[in-house]
Structure 1
Amino acid sequence: MLDAIRKLFQDEAAPSAKPDDDVEHRIQVSTCALLLEIAWADEDFSDEERAVVASLVRERFALDEASLASLLDLARRERERSTDLYQFTRLIRERLPRHERLRILEALWRVVYSDGVLEAHEDALVHKLTRLLGLKHEEAIALKMRARDATAG
Structure 2
Amino acid sequence: MLEAIKRFYQERIQVDDAADDDLQHRLQLATAALLVEMAQEDNERHSMEFQAIHEGIREVFHLSDEETTELIDLADREAHEATDHFEFTQLINENFDYPTKCRVVELLWRVCLADEDMNRYEEQLVRKIGELLHIEHKDFIAAKIRVQQAYSTSYMNDYDSYE
TM interval, short-chain normalised: 0.7 to 0.9
**Equivalents in 1 of 2:69, 2:118: separation in Å?**
27
What amino acid is aligned across from residue 48 of structure 1 in structure 2? Answer: M
| Residue 66 (structure 2) pairs with residue 66 (structure 1) | yes
Give the structure 2 partner of residue 90 of structure 1.
Answer: 90
Deviation (angstroms), 1:47: 1.2
Q: More deviation in 88-97 or 69-78? A: 69-78
CA contact (8 A) 1:116 1:151 kept: no
Give the structure 1 partner of residue 128 of structure 2.
Answer: 128
Give the structure 2 partner of residue 8 of structure 1.
Answer: none
Unaligned ranges ≥5, structure 2: 1-15, 154-163
Deviation (angstroms), 1:68: 1.4
Give the structure 2 partner of residue 31 of structure 1.
Answer: 31
**Equivalents in 2 of 1:67, 1:22: separation in Å?**
15
Unaligned ranges ≥5, structure 1: 1-15
| Residue 16 (structure 2) pairs with residue 19 (structure 1) | no
Percent identity for Structure 1 against Structure 2: 36
Q: Deviations over 1:2-41 (max 9, x none)?
A: xxxxxxxxxxxxxx92111110000000000011011111
Deviation (angstroms), 1:110: 0.9
**DSSP 3-state at the match of 2:45:** coil
**Equivalents in 1 of 2:85, 2:46: separation in Å?**
22
Normalised to the residue count of structure 2, the TM-score between the two structures is 0.81
Deviation (angstroms), 1:132: 0.6
Question: Which contiguous aligned blocks of 4+ residues in structure 1 show a shift greater than 2 angstroms?
Answer: none
